[in-house]
């Protein structure tokens, strides 16, 4: 239930009058030190016809005080309580009215023309379901640039083609959460709670079956590296398991059985790598909290090697496991270096809150 006792809360206006062109949903958790800067960054966009809904997902770090200082009428602030991802985003979805919809993280930077660039694409191309752009990956403080991810995708690609060529044959997502969506394609169904913090991955697959995909080949987002507040920090096994569950039902859109089997092979190889890597980290750190999830990943998606490694981990001494898993991990990394990469870079909604 939406809290209403605090004067700082500014719930969304009732559904009267003209709706804004764009609705921005920004969940936040324990990031009061950077939230004000990010909100001002968004409010300074050169496209102004939007509403910004900031949802406090249970923060107790001064977020209320930070939001109290900002009086822009486009900003709405709600405290629905501790919901987590993706429930907090689905809650926001129920309270916004824009023709277009975008999720923004509470700790990243945005080019001033990001919204205008995206809106221009959707306005000119009614067949496009969503548009995204390149990004700059920075360190956790948002200062040092680590790398740039700018693809050579065409400006517009048919949705099913994009699904078959870019999503199904790989595990890492080329699409970030900072994506402007045509809301009419969503109906009443936004993010699937069954896949948790990887729900946006399922969303991109779903939207590809409903419309075309547009891309702006400039880095319009400056993404901070993960920090301990990110939902899947130190839990690659859980993230990968959720991603693959979200992707599985879209295998039916593969061109043929050979394409389906090829995709499954890539997924299995990624699961094997994650099992080796996460088991190795568990034994090195003497922290086995992630072991149950690693077992789930190996059972659902891993190949024979992953299940063999898991079985050996149950019986062999720690030093043997460290050596064996380290060797398997290294061998798999070398193999991937000369084949298609499946390294996960988390640009998902899990980045937003914990």
What is the pLDDT tens value at each position of the chain, 354 positions in all? 233 333 355 555 555 568 999 999 999 998 888 899 999 999 999 999 999 999 999 888 889 999 999 999 999 999 998 898 899 999 999 999 999 999 999 989 999 999 999 999 999 999 999 999 999 998 877 778 899 999 999 999 999 999 999 999 999 889 988 999 999 999 999 999 988 888 999 999 999 999 999 999 999 999 987 665 554 444 788 889 999 999 999 999 999 999 999 999 999 999 988 888 888 777 677 767 777 888 899 999 998 888 877 777 666 565 555 566 566 555 555 444 444 444 444 444 555 444
Helices (H), the chain: 32-43, 63-68, 87-93, 114-124, 159-162, 199-208, 236-248, 257-285, 291-300, 304-315, 318-337
| Domain around 331 | 236-337
Distance CA 232, CA 210 (A): 29
Please tell me the predicted confidence (pLDDT) of residue 3.
36
Q: Determine how many CB atoms are found less than 10 A away from the CB of residue 126.
A: 11
Please tell me the predicted confidence (pLDDT) of residue 226.
65
Please tell me the predicted confidence (pLDDT) of residue 122.
98
In a domain, 61, yes or no: no
In a domain, 117, yes or no: no
In a domain, 324, yes or no: yes
CA distances, 164 to each of 128, 170, 254, 259, 347 (Å): 17, 10, 6, 9, 20
Continuous segment of H or E residues that includes residue 149:
strand 145-149
Determine the length of the chain.
354
In a domain, 240, yes or no: yes
In a domain, 332, yes or no: yes
In a domain, 50, yes or no: no
pTM of the model: 0.84
State how many domains the chain has: 1
Distance CA 31, CA 72 (A): 20
- Residues ≥6 apart with Cβ < 8 Å to 66: 32, 35, 36
Please tell me the predicted confidence (pLDDT) of residue 232.
43
State the DSSP code for 139: -
In a domain, 116, yes or no: no
In a domain, 329, yes or no: yes
Which residue matches tokens 């403080």? 141
Continuous segment of H or E residues that includes residue 218:
strand 212-223
Please tell me the predicted confidence (pLDDT) of residue 340.
46
């Amino acid at each position: 239930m939406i809290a209403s006792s605090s004067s700082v809360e500014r719930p969304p206006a009732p559904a009267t009058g003209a709706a804004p062109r764009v609705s921005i949903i920004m969940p936040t958790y324990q990031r009061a030190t950077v939230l004000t800067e990010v909100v001002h960054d968004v409010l300074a966009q050169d496209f102004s016809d939007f509403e910004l809904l900031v949802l406090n997902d249970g923060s107790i770090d001064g977020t209320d005080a930070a939001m109290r200082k900002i009086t822009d009428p486009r900003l709405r602030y709600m405290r629905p309580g501790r919901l987590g991802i993706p429930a907090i985003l689905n809650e926001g979805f129920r309270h916004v009215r824009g023709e277009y919809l975008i999720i923004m993280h509470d700790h990243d930077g945005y080019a001033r023309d990001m919204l205008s660039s995206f809106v221009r694409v959707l306005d000119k191309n009614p067949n496009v379901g969503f548009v995204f752009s390149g990004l700059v990956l920075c360190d956790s403080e948002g200062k040092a640039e680590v790398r740039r991810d700018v693809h050579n995708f065409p400006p517009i690609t048919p949705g099913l083609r994009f699904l078959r060529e870019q999503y199904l044959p790989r595990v890492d997502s080329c699409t970030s959460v900072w994506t402007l969506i045509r809301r009419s394609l969503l109906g009443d169904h936004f993010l699937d709670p069954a896949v948790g913090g990887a729900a946006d991955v399922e969303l991109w697959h779903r939207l590809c079956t409903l419309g075309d995909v547009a891309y702006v080949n400039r880095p319009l987002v400056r993404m901070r590296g993960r920090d301990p507040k990110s939902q899947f920090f130190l839990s690659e096994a859980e993230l990968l398991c959720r991603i693959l569950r979200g992707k599985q039902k879209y295998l039916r859109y593969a061109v043929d059985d050979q394409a389906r089997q090829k995709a499954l092979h890539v997924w299995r190889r990624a699961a094997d790598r994650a099992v080796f890597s996460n088991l190795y980290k568990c034994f090195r750190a003497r922290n086995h909290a992630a072991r149950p999830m690693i077992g789930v990943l190996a059972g659902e998606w891993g190949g024979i090697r992953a299940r063999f490694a898991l079985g050996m981990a149950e019986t062999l001494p720690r030093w043997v496991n460290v050596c064996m898993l380290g060797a398997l991990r290294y061998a798999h990394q070398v193999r991937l270096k000369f084949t298609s990469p499946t390294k996960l870079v988390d640009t998902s909604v899990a980045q937003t809150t914990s």
